[in-house]
Copies of this chain bind each other. A is one copy, B any other.
Amino acid sequence: MKIVALAGGVGGAKLAHGLAQILPPEDLTVIVNTGDDFEHLGLSISPDLDTVCYTLAGLANPDMGWGRADETWNTIANIERLGGPNWFHLGDQDLATHIERTRRLKECQPLSRITRDFCKAWGIKPTVLPMSDQSIRTIVETDEGELAFQEYFVHRRCEPRTKGFRFEGVDKAKAAPGVGEAIQTAEAIVICPSNPWVSIAPILAVLSTLPEKWGEREGRNQIVAVSPIIAGKAVKGPAAKMYGELGIEPSALAVAKHYQNLAGGFILDEVDAKLEADIQGLNMQTLVTKTLMQNSDDRRHLAEDVLDFIGKLL
């Protein structure tokens, strides 16, 4: 069964890793948000792509949710000593990714090709695609004005109040090579438990530019979303805070409403079982299961549940 997973950072990376443990590599394509990409210290950084790739390659730091395992911090410590910007923590191994990607981007190589080569070098077998080779930048509209995503997320620690989002450059961007074909040939699409506002929305914005009207292909039952909100809280990141600031009570139900026109299937955590009936009321089929992924087995179990659920929906 050919599956496309739409992924942001940690949550998306974990479920993608679960799917990769089950599916033959040729049957899994992960389309990754690049709206968080930014330039820092002259380097082109793609946080979600790196989190997905490091996780699939078994190179990810298991504790932090970003960066590399067994990392050292000698470069950033010395940049700090020189009075340089130190708010974005770049490990020495991680830096190699950014330096080499930046070098190749400056030679006008597309991000999708660089990502393909990096995946090969890291031994990643499923296909990982950036959503676009063009620059799309997520801007968070806050009570302190517009902030580039990393400025909001890392530098300002998500403190300003969110008022909205826009994805700069999306009107001029195209989906990366391979994205359209993957969507067209997929038997099902999994919306991973990533932030709906700033991880999944940019990907959906890019996919909406595809000639194939993918969301309406064969009906909503080919699309399944997994809630990133458990017991009203985001496992990681500002999703719940954003819901609250936008006047929506953060919950799996709120996420389901977010996707109700798109996805026919919705997966929520056991602790939110009481919301199941309300979500079914949105004309969505539901699966209640353990969605919190604390280790590699959890990832595989959730992936198995997702694939079983898809099998029942199709």
Contacts and interface: CB of A to CB of B under 8 A. Distances in A.
Interface residues of A, number: 30
Contacts of A81: 96, 121-122
A102 to B, nearest CB: 5
A75 B99 CA distance: 9
A96 B83 contact: no
Given A72-B74, A75-B92, A92-B74, A42 B106 contact: yes
A93 interface: yes
B117 A82 contact: yes
A64 interface: no
Nearest to A95: B75
Interface string A57-101: 000000000000000101111110111110000011101110110
Contacts of A72: 72, 74, 92
Copies of this chain, complex-wide, total 2
Which of A79, A85, A95, A96 gathers most chain B CB within 10 Å? A96
Nearest to A106: B42
A105 to B, nearest CB: 9
27 contacts: A41-B99, A41-B100, A41-B103, A42-B43, A72-B72, A72-B74, A74-B96, A75-B75, A75-B92, A75-B93, A75-B95, A75-B96, A75-B99, A78-B92, A78-B93, A78-B97, A79-B99, A81-B96, A82-B96, A82-B100, A82-B117, A83-B117, A83-B121, A84-B103, A85-B103, A92-B92, A92-B95
